[in-house]
Structure formats: C-alpha cells, structure tokens
Amino acid sequence: MQFNFDEENSICRTVEGLKMDSTATGISRAKSLDLPPTVPQSLSPTTSAETMLIADVNGGPSLSRKSSFGKKLVGSSPGKKGGGGHHLRQTRSGNMKIDSEDLGGGASLSRASSASLGFSFSFTGFTALPEDIVSDISCFSGDEKGADLEAGQTRKRMMSEPTLPIYLKFTDVRYKVILKGITSTREKDILQGITGSARPGELLALMGPSGSGKTSLLSLLGGRITGNIIQGSITYNDEPYTKALKGRIGFVTQDDVLFAHLTVRETLAYAARLRLPKTMSRQQKEERAMNVIYELGLERCQDTVIGGSFVRGVSGGERKRVCIGNEILINPSLLFLDEPTSGLDSTTALRIVQVLHEITQSGKTVVTTIHQPSSRLFHRFDKLILLGKGHLLYFGRASKSMSYFSAIGFSPVITMNPAEFLIDLANGNITDVTIPPELEDRVQSKNSETNTRNRKPSPEDVHEYVVEAYETRVADKRKKKIMKPLPICEDLKATVSSPKRDWGANWWQQYSILFWRGLKERRHDYLSWMRITQVLAIAVILGLLWWHSNSTTPRGLEDQAGLLFFISVFWGFFPVFTAIFTFPQERAMLNKERAVDMYRLSAYFLARTTSDLPLDLFLPVIFLLIVYFMAGLRLSIQHFFLSMLVVFLSIVAAQGLGLAIGASFMDIKKATTLASVTVMTFMLAGGFFVKRVPPFISWLRFMSFNYHSYRLLLKVQYDHMPPSLNIPKLHNGMKEVAAMVAMVFAYRFLAYISLRRMKLAA
C-alpha cells in the first residue's frame, strides 16, 4: 500500500495587505515604529519593537474574518525595514510568510497573525495594549461577552496579550528511569523517540492511555525533569532550556496545589505580587490579578475560599481555572497543563479547553495532556500527539488523525468519538474497528507457525503495527522538517537563552507577602477553639492538682519542682509536634512555587517560621497565667515574667527541633517517629527522673531543652532559698540561656539546609 501522509500544501494567498509567501518558512521579524509610550524600554530586548511574525495558513473558515483583524493591527503599527536574512519581512509592507511545511486545519492563521501583530507592541506583555488595538479586538471579536457555561453568566472576553513567541521543538526524545531495588538496579524506558513541535498560537494535545507517558513528556518539555537519563533534543526557538525560560513558562500540574483557606482573589493577588516584575506597582499587580479573574470568568466566586478536603470551597472547574490563572498571570509564552479536565463534567471540561483556545489566540504555545476528551473537545485541538507505551503513534494535525489511521487500515465501523477510537487503538483494542490486511496476514502467518486457528490480532500485535506504521511512513519526514533551523533573529534567541533570573519582588517584599499570606492561610488555626480549649483544660487541671502548693517544706518543694518539670516538658513537646508538620504539609506548594522561582527560599523559610509565632506565644501566656496563680508559685511580677521568658525560649528552641526533623524527612510518619524518640530522650535526660546519670551518657542532657528550661525555672522560683538536695544551684543561669539560644538558631539552620537540599519534584 502506498501511503501518502503529506498534510502540507503550498498556498500563496494575499489577504488584505498581508502578502503571503508560500516559499518562505514560518517566522519573520519586523520592526514597528509605532510603540506605545508605556512600553518599558528596559524590559524589552533590543528595541522592544522587534516583531516576530509567524503565519500558519490553513484556510479555515475564520480566515477572512481574522485576517481583517490582522490588517487593522498592521495599520496601527507600521513597521520599518528590519535586519537580516531572506526570511525577514517588514510589517510596513505587510508581508507575512506562510510556513508551507505545516499547513492544516483550524484557526492557526488568525492566531498567528494576532500574536505576531500584538507582539509588535511589546516583548514582555506586561504593558496594556494601546486603546486603539483593544478597540480593534472588540470590533473584531463581535461576541466579546462570552457565555460562562459553568456559572451561567456572561463574562468579559479574555484579553489577548502579546507575548514573546516561542516555538517548541522536540526530536527523538527518550527518557528512562533507574529503578533501584534492594538487590539490583534496573532501567525502565518511559519514552522512546518522541518527535513533535508546537508553534505559537497552537494548542497541542498529548493523548494516550494511562501510563503511556503523557505526564513524563509534558514534564520534560516544561523543563521539570533534567539529567542524563534524557536523550534527544528539546528546544525553544532553537535554543536549549535555560533557567531564564522559567519566567516564560507556565505549568499547571494535575493536582490543584492551592491554599485551602485563601479566597480566589487572595490566591491570585499574592501570586501576582510575587511573580510579576518589580517594575510594576502593587496596584498594577493586583489589577492584573483582577483582570485574570474576569478573563477566566471567576468574578462570581472571587471572594470564596478555595477549599479542600475539610473545607467547602469553589467547584472543581473553578479551582482548575484558578490554577490556570496562576500561570497566565505572568503572560507565559508557553503554557503546559497536565490533565486540566480530569474529574470535570463534559461542559466544564469544554469550558476549560475553550479558555486554553483563547489563550493561544495571543500567540502563546499551549501543550496539554488529556485523557479521554469528548468529540467536541477533541476538535478544539490544533495538533495531536498520540502515545502508546511510551512510543509515538501519531503526531500531526488533530483533524487529520482519523484520516491517517484510516490510511493505515484502521477505521471505526460504527460512529465513534475520535478520541475514544484513538485511545482504544493506542491500547491495542480493535473492537468495532477495521483491521489492516497487512496486520491480518502477519497474524495468519504467526498462526500457521504456532498451529493456532483464527487467532485475532492481540493488543501487542496492534501496538507493534501502529508503531511500525508511523516509524516507516511518517517519522523520518517529520523529523527532517522539525530539525530545519528556524529563521529567527539572534536577539530573540538570546532572550530565550539569557541566564538572567529576575525576582518579582525584593527579599523584604517577598518576606512580607509570604508572612501575611501565611497568617491569612492559618488564621483559622489561630482561632481554633480546639487548641485553645486543650491548653486551657490542661492549665486548669494542673492548677487544681497543685492548688496553692507550698514550697516551704521539703515535700512541698519536691511537688512544686515536679510541676515546673511538667511545664518545661509540656512546652517542649507541644511545639515540636506542631512544628513537625510545617514543611511536609507545604511540600507540594513549596515545590510548585520554587519550580517557578517565585521567591527566595530564605524569605519563605523566615516568613513561614515567624508567621506562627504570635499564636505560639499567645497560648503559653494564658496557660501560665492560670497555672502560676492557681498553683501559688512565687508571687511577684518579675518572677512571673522571667518564668514566661523561660517558657518562650523553650518553645522557640523546641520548634526549631520540630522544623529540622520535619524538613529532613519531609514525611510526617518518619518525622513523628524520630521526634517521639528524641523528645522522650530529652525528657529523661532533663534531670528530674534520673539525677545520677552515668558519665558516658550524661552529655545527652546538654542537648535537651527540657534540662535547660527546667533548671532555669528552678532558678527563677528558688534562687532566694538555701540549696537543697532536690534543687540544683545555678550561678547566674547564663549558660542555660546561651545553650537554648544556640538551639534556637542551630535547629533552624539545620531545617533550612535540609530544605535547600530538597529535590524539586518533577
């Protein structure tokens, strides 16, 4: 069978001032003289006016409508002759090139033209579009009020912002993981030679059965997995991945990692303040967050908390849109999404894909994995990659996938959702599907070899056949095309490959934003009656048990020392076990935010450890007020405050230990196991239960904060009394204070180092 899968046709068309040259390849660059005064020159590489034009002509139904949009924009942004190469064209002359290599269905032209023309105003995309352009968009769109299907309301049309166009290419990508067993180590192939591309203005879907490698491929393309287990090439405007790209890539993970107690508006506002460039004021950043809320149709739930397992919040679709909003805030050039529609009903899923479609219209490149889309959803994709067991089964226009599989002999015999058909095929399931004669012949010859009768093609036979069909008939041709260098200017490449990393806020701003965000997120914990009642109940019980205790008799003194020891143990254990959860609980969020360089780890660490202090110091005050006076401890303001200070010091030191254990394991089970052994040891070494500790283990007590706080409490209460057998005599207590202050810092330093060493999860 002669298969001809050449989707490219040369089309040369002139559409109202856009002269299209089918002989040239897809990317042009031009200079616009007509810059809005708001464009920050410092942010724009080279002249800020340089433009890259990417046209992908396919003659879809929206061509004439969208090209008139393009014409209007060109009119408002006349170009001047730009630099180099025969690929470059000028916007003044209105020349736009067509990529004669990658023609197909859909609305790519419109997107490409709007993207490229929008781009002529700013590389950075953080400046508002000039008013005449915005009004052009409104005139063009006609239906600027789109229906919010989920909310049942109308909403503002998504504002298309220009961005730096990034052309994503990947050839022969192979990825394996090393699985370490107890006795042996083996390698597992996850992806085997995947080739594809996505251009600005395109929506590329990665489809395949569960475990086929979609998430792995998406993570590789998004720069989330690095190392020498990866082979092949992944380029962004023909340049390899660099850290500078972090600010241009948005990555929406499969799990919605959001703070449950923050509202939608707070979530996006904090993200905007941390991620948007320093050149924008706080007000501008917050305005931008509001724009995203309107653009994504979230205005109805903007003041609703996100919610989680124990708190009712926004709906699943709204939560997903908040995650997308978190990423589009930064106006990314490339947006990756892992299963953005999983767990959503078909209408909400369609709504999400519509949003993605709108995002591509401003020249962004969008890549998404998708599990089993409805047919309406499937038709929204421009390009498709079908994976099966880590192999590439198809890469090309989504609209041409069915004809490709029909050309290699697989067609549904009943009406079927194309996505269902493709996933079935990728699984090797050919129920209600025609079988290619070549495959039947192969199975027959196998049958005769093994003396079996009427054996149908197994899923393995089908998989093998489909992989082979793609490799022999399409793969090489595609690879050659993708490997052709892009005719783009060096400046644009430099923008992508520049190693410069820019924080959205300075250290103090990051600290303060994270501090207040932490306070807001945990405000419910602060007012948790459970915790307050727990502390109050223990305080009252202690007060009753030691009611008006008497320290003038040896037995009374011994009893009181017992109370002081209990206080030192209680305010040593309690903070350890609450601090243990701090980092493991926020691990996913920390991973997510650090992966995009949202803040410095030191700012986060300090904010996170100080934002809990107000409550941690408020509860012991109430506790001590009750116990101190009920138990009749030394009645003087000075001694009450000194006791309070000792308890504070003990709490802060113990918290440090909890933070260090939590951060070292990042696993609550392991951390609590180690913590219980440690605090038990510290308690026993505290000097109350055993007084004559063997010298070879007596050093342990110096590491115990219980030991130091107990001695200090004794000193505060009894330093006016003659030394007794039960009460150790302290000189001035400075040694104990110094030891505890050292613990406060040393444990925290250990926690910080452990966090630094934590590997960012893919």
Ligand X SMILES: Nc1ncnc2c1ncn2[C@@H]1O[C@H](COP(=O)(O)OP(=O)(O)OP(=O)(O)O)[C@@H](O)[C@H]1O
Q: In the complex, which residues of this chain contact ligand X (CB under 6 A)?
A: 177, 179, 188, 190, 208, 210-216, 371
Q: Do the beta carbons of residue 150 and residue 318 sit within 8 Å?
A: yes
| Closer by beta carbon to ligand X, 71 or else 214 | 214
| Closer by beta carbon to ligand X, 179 or else 645 | 179
**Least distance between ligand X and beta carbon 731 (Å):** 57
| Closer by beta carbon to ligand X, 138 or else 226 | 226
Q: Do the beta carbons of residue 455 and residue 442 sit within 8 Å?
A: no
Residue 34: other Cβ atoms inside 10 A: 16
What is the Cα–Cα distance from 679 to 660, expressed in whole angstroms?
13
Q: Do the beta carbons of residue 724 and residue 714 sit within 8 Å?
A: no
DSSP result, 605-644 = HHHHHHTTHHHHHHHHHHHHHHHHHHTT----HHHHHHHH
**Least distance between ligand X and beta carbon 392 (Å):** 13
**Least distance between ligand X and beta carbon 188 (Å):** 6
**Least distance between ligand X and beta carbon 391 (Å):** 12
* Helices assigned H by DSSP within 666-732: 668-684, 695-698, 705-718
| Closer by beta carbon to ligand X, 268 or else 393 | 393
Here the tokens at position 267 are 């979530």
Q: Do the beta carbons of residue 360 and residue 111 sit within 8 Å?
A: yes
Residue 281: other Cβ atoms inside 10 A: 10
185-198/145-148 β-pairing: unpaired
**Least distance between ligand X and beta carbon 334 (Å):** 19
Q: What are phi and psi of 169, to 5 degrees?
A: -130, 145
CB-facing half-sphere around the CA of 672: CA atoms within 13 A: 8
Amino acid identity, position 445: S
Report which of 627, 520, 634 is spatially closest to residue 566, judged by C-alpha positions. Answer: 627
Spell out the residues 6+ positions from residue 359 whose beta carbon is closer than 8 angstroms to its own: 158, 328, 335, 366
For residues 342, 344, 350, 356, the Cα torsion angle rounded to the nearest 10 degrees is: -50
| Closer by beta carbon to ligand X, 188 or else 455 | 188
**Least distance between ligand X and beta carbon 191 (Å):** 8
What is the Cα–Cα distance from 273 to 276, expressed in whole angstroms?
6
| Closer by beta carbon to ligand X, 97 or else 214 | 214
Angle at 236 between CA 233 and CA 238, to 5 degrees: 70
Angle between helices 554-579 and 668-684 (to 10 degrees): 160
**Least distance between ligand X and beta carbon 332 (Å):** 21
203-207/365-370 β-pairing: parallel
What is the Cα–Cα distance from 186 to 310, expressed in whole angstroms?
41
| Closer by beta carbon to ligand X, 339 or else 382 | 339
**Least distance between ligand X and beta carbon 208 (Å):** 5
| Closer by beta carbon to ligand X, 371 or else 473 | 371
| Closer by beta carbon to ligand X, 191 or else 469 | 191
**Least distance between ligand X and beta carbon 353 (Å):** 17
Angle between helices 459-470 and 437-450 (to 10 degrees): 130
What is the Cα–Cα distance from 86 to 67, expressed in whole angstroms?
24
| Closer by beta carbon to ligand X, 54 or else 225 | 225
| Closer by beta carbon to ligand X, 100 or else 212 | 212
**Least distance between ligand X and beta carbon 394 (Å):** 15
**Least distance between ligand X and beta carbon 666 (Å):** 17
